[in-house]
Amino acid sequence: IAYGPSGKELWRVPLGPFNSFYGMAASPVLAGNTLVVVCVHRTNSFIVAVNSRNGKVLWNKPRPNFEAYSTPSVYKPKDGPTQILLLGSGSSSLDAYSVDKGERLWWVEKIGNYPKGVPDLGTDMVYVAFDGDEPALIGIGRFARREIVWRTACTFGSGARWTVLGCSSRAFACS
């Protein structure tokens, strides 16, 4: 639902129903005039892009069915299209979709379970955190080549909720 400055509803796009223990968990993100919403749950999961001015659906792509609670990030590479970076639980991956067409451009698989944080961007590096059987903080560089530059085990315990802050040369994490 979009509201104007006076509180008047401007447009509405139905997304549910949701089949998830916690319901809708990811926050929408804005990339230019494109609003991107991730709806990942037990059945009929998807990522959708909507024109933020008029509510017109620009594209809608299926996602693996599995409960995940991560909000995506917007990545603007020096060359190439603006991308949405999305942690996926069922596929245990970090996926990049083009904002303009919804194409899955690149991905890194088998990096962990139960994402709840937000992929955080540093200079030529994205930092992601997962909990589950093997909690980890991971630095991924050279995105299109899908290279995990480093991985470190984190012992914050099962069910940790991560916050990651990445910068040009360091990553900071807390749970």
Which pLDDT value is given to residue 71? 85
Q: Which amino acid is at 79?
A: D
Give me the long-range contacts of 162-165 (CB less than 8 A, separation at least 24).
162/116, 162/117, 162/129, 162/130, 162/131, 162/137, 163/117, 164/117, 164/118, 164/120, 164/127, 164/128, 164/129, 164/137, 165/120
Tens digit of pLDDT for each residue in 146-157? 566 666 665 555
Tell me phi and psi for residue 51, to 5 degrees. -65, 120
pLDDT band with cut points at 50, 70 and 90 for residue 51? very high
* Confidence (pTM): 0.80
